[in-house]
Structure 1
Amino acid sequence: MRTSTIETRLSTRYDELDPEQKGNKNTEFADIIIDGQSVFYRMRKKHDLVPCLGWGSDEYQLLLLDYFLLRKPHEFMYYRYPILVCPGCGDEECGYVSVKIDREDDIVIWKDFMLDDQKLQVGPFYFEWENYEHAILNTFRMAGI
């Protein structure tokens, strides 16, 4: 098992000159970077979704931190969590990519990525807890409200 690095950084749905942004919400979010590669950019060509972390109300962001740090199960998906959501509202009803998150000792495992109910060929990824926890906590208020 090879462990991956995870970090988060502020990003936007469109860059400044992208013609696609006309008439669309240019959501700012905490992008998830795994082994130097953006999850958002890896999936953006196929799915118009953005990472759920770093934006929305404080209450919403704190709930997501609880989910990703395995403090509480998701209300409907238990230990599967939405990682990419609707860029307009963040609502899972608009479509989402989810991931199953497990922890074994000091290793966090992201596996079984799914678009709604379709399995995606992504992962699994293994993260050291300390690196993972720091990256996830770093997302709070990253993009503001």
Structure 2
Amino acid sequence: MFQNFGLKPAVRGGAVLGAGARRRRREFLDFVIDDRPLLSLFDGEDVVSALATDLPPRALSGEVDRLLLRGPSSLPDGRQVLYCCPECGDLGCGAITAMIIQQDDCIIWRDFRWQDSQDQELESYPGVGPFRFSADEYRNALEHAATQSW
């Protein structure tokens, strides 16, 4: 049985925090599973998806290719970054990652973790996933995202 997979525009609001500090506004595509934003399952983590819509087209296409398993993972353990720091996108700030595998006509997201650049798994999300998607639906949604002008 497959879950539905899609993408939906989302916004992390900007703000002035005081003492000259600012919280950056970021627009991104959130992953939607069975009509529910995946980010809603991570208890208010302040992150944005790797599909930030202000990325240059080539960088966005690279992120799509990575999620489609057409390119190498940015992590040495083969996990994929789903959500990252909204300010800088750097793994040093921490990221929500998952294992993404393909089995025949099925894409599986499993083993969700909070990781940082030290390759430390700081927290797991045992109540999240695994999710199984039709490979065709998954591919179509991501390829469509790569061709849009956001």
> What is the TM-score when the length of structure 1 is the normalising length?
0.84
Aligned to 1:17: none
SS in structure 2 opposite 1:113? strand
Matches within 5 A, 1:10-89: 10-14=9-13, 21-23=14-16, 24-43=23-42, 45=44, 47-55=45-53, 56-89=55-88
Contact map agreement 2:108 2:132 (CA 8 A) in 1: yes
Aligned to 2:99: 100
Distance in 2 (CA, whole Å) between partners of 1:36 and 1:101 is: 20
Aligned to 2:133: 127
Contact map agreement 2:107 2:133 (CA 8 A) in 1: yes
1:72-125 alpha-carbon deviations (Å, 9 max, x no partner): 221433531000001112222211000100001110000000011122121000
Q: Which has the larger radius of gyration?
A: 2
Let me know the Cα RMSD of the aligned residues.
1.8
1:11-56 alpha-carbon deviations (Å, 9 max, x no partner): 1013xxxxxx4222120001110011101233251x1111111432
Contact map agreement 1:7 1:32 (CA 8 A) in 2: yes
* Structure number with higher relative contact order (C-alpha < 8 Å, ≥ 6 residues apart): 1
Contact map agreement 2:73 2:80 (CA 8 A) in 1: yes
Question: Percent of counterpart pairs with the same letter?
Answer: 26
Distance in 2 (CA, whole Å) between partners of 1:111 and 1:67 is: 16
Could you tell me which runs of 5 or more consecutive residues in structure 1 were left unpaired when the two chains were aligned.
15-20
Distance in 2 (CA, whole Å) between partners of 1:137 and 1:91 is: 24
SS in structure 2 opposite 1:140? helix
| TM-fit CA distance, 1:3 | 1.0
Paired residues, number: 136
Could you tell me which runs of 5 or more consecutive residues in structure 2 were left unpaired when the two chains were aligned.
17-22, 116-120
